[in-house]
Amino acid sequence: MKPAAKRKGSSLFVRRNKDAIMACVILLVILVLFASNQNDFFSRYGPQSIFNQVITLAVAALAQTVVVLTGGIDLSVGSMIGLTNSIAATIMDPVSSAVGNETVGILLTNLIVLAIGGLAGLINGAIIVYGRLQPIVVTLATASIYGGIALYIRPTPGGKVPMSYTEFLTGRVFTYIPVSAVVLAVIIGLVWMPLRRSRLGQSIYAIGGNEYSAFVSGIPVERTKLWAYTLSGLFAAVAALLLTAQTASGDPLGSSLFTLNSIAAVVLGGTPLAGGKGGYAGAVAGAAILSLVLGLLIFWGVPSFYQNAVQGVILILALTVGLLQKLWRRAPLTTSS
C-alpha cells in the first residue's frame, strides 16, 4: 500500500472512531490518576483489581450496545442481570450436589442461566417487533416483570456458589493475567468481532443507520431486531454470572444501576442513542471510565451520595458533547445560502 493511501486509510479510521478514541484517551488519563492513588497498581494484584471492577459493567454495556446500534434501547438490562444473578446463586449449589460433580454442576447452571437470559431478551424483542411498540416502553415494563420474578425467587440477598467458581473467575492465570481480562477478550474476540463482520452485524448497523433504507434493501428488519434483543439478554446473563462470582450471592435489587450505567457507558464510548455506529471498544472504554471514576471517588473519600451525582454529570456531559457534534456537522447545511 502506498504511503498516501495509508495516510488516507488512517485518517478515515480516526474520523469514524473519533468518539471511541476520545473515550480511550480519557480512560488513559484516569488510569494515570488511578495508578497514583493505588499503591499496588503495578503489582500482580493491580490489573486483577481493575478488571474485576470493570468486567461486569463492560459486559452489561455490550448488552446495551447491541440494542442501541439498532436505534433501540433496553431499560431491562439491570433487571435481567438481577434475575439471572438470583437464579445462578439459588441453583448453582443444589445443581452441583444433584449431579454429584461440582464442575458439571457449574457448567449446567451457566447454560441454564444463559438460556434464561436469552429467553428474556427474546421476549423483549418479540413484544417490540410484533407488538409494534416502542422499545423504551416495552423494556421499562419487562424490567418490572423480571425484577418481580427475581424477588420471588430470592426475596432477600443470599444464596451460595462453590468457592472454586468465585476463585476462578476473580483470580489470575499465569500469575499475572486476570481471568476477567481473559473472559472479556474471549467475548470480544469470539463473539463481538465475528458478529461485527457477519451479515447479522451488518444488518444491525444498517437498521440503526436508516431502518427504511435497510428494509427496502432486503434486510430482514424484524428478525435482526429479535436477534439484537436476544443477544442483549445473553450478554446480560454473562454479566450476571460474573457478578455472581464476584459477590458469591444473589441480589435481586443490587443490579438496578447497571441499566443507567450501561447506557452511560455506551454514550460515553461514542455510540449515539440514534444507533448506526459505534461498537465494543468505546463501550468497554466507557464502562472502564465509569467504574474507575467510582474507584477514584472512593480513594478520595467522596461521600457515597455524591458519587451517583458525579456519574450523572458524566452522562450529561457525554450526551451534550454528542449533541454539539451533531449540530456542528449540520451547521454548514443550515447556514449555506
Highest mean pLDDT among 13-17, 176-180, 228-232: 228-232
276, 17 contact by CB (below 8 A): no
CA 228 centroid distance within chain: 13
Q: Facing residues of 250 across strands?
A: 158
- Banded model confidence at residue 336, pLDDT cuts 50, 70, 90: very low
Q: What is the pLDDT of residue 122?
A: 97
What's the chain's average pLDDT? Answer: 86
* Residue percentage of the chain with pLDDT more than 70: 89
Q: Taking the domain 47-323, which CATH number applies?
A: 1.10.3470
DSSP helix/strand/coil, 1: coil
Q: What is the pLDDT of residue 40?
A: 74
Q: Which of 75-79, 85-89, 260-264, 299-303 has the lowest mean pLDDT?
A: 299-303
Q: What is the pLDDT of residue 337?
A: 37
Q: Facing residues of 158 across strands?
A: 250
The Cβ of residue 98 has, within 10 Å, a number of other Cβ atoms equal to 12
User: Three cell numbers at 150?
Assistant: 427475581
Highest mean pLDDT among 172-186, 188-202, 221-235: 221-235
76, 143 contact by CB (below 8 A): yes
Alpha helices for the chain (secondary structure H)? 3-16, 18-37, 45-68, 77-99, 102-131, 135-153, 163-169, 179-187, 193-197, 199-209, 211-216, 221-247, 257-268, 280-299, 304-335
Instruction: Please state the domain extents for the chain.
Output: 47-323
The Cβ of residue 217 has, within 10 Å, a number of other Cβ atoms equal to 11
pTM confidence score: 0.89
Q: Which of 49-58, 73-82, 295-304 has the lowest mean pLDDT?
A: 295-304
pLDDT in tens, 112-133: 999 999 999 999 999 999 999 9
pLDDT in tens, 2-61: 655 555 555 655 666 677 788 888 888 888 888 887 777 777 788 888 899 899 999 999
The contacts found for 129-136 with CB under 8 angstroms, 24 or more apart, are 129/222, 129/225, 129/226, 130/222, 135/67, 135/72, 135/73, 135/74, 136/73, 136/75
- Banded model confidence at residue 319, pLDDT cuts 50, 70, 90: low
CA nearest to 261, candidates 231, 239, 276: 239
Q: What is the pLDDT of residue 11?
A: 63
Rg (CA), the chain: 21
Distance CA 226, CA 232 (A): 10
pLDDT in tens, 252-268: 988 888 998 899 899 88
CB burial string 71-97: b at 16+ within 10 A, e below: bbbbbbbbbbbbbbbbbbbbbbbebbe
CA 167 centroid distance within chain: 23
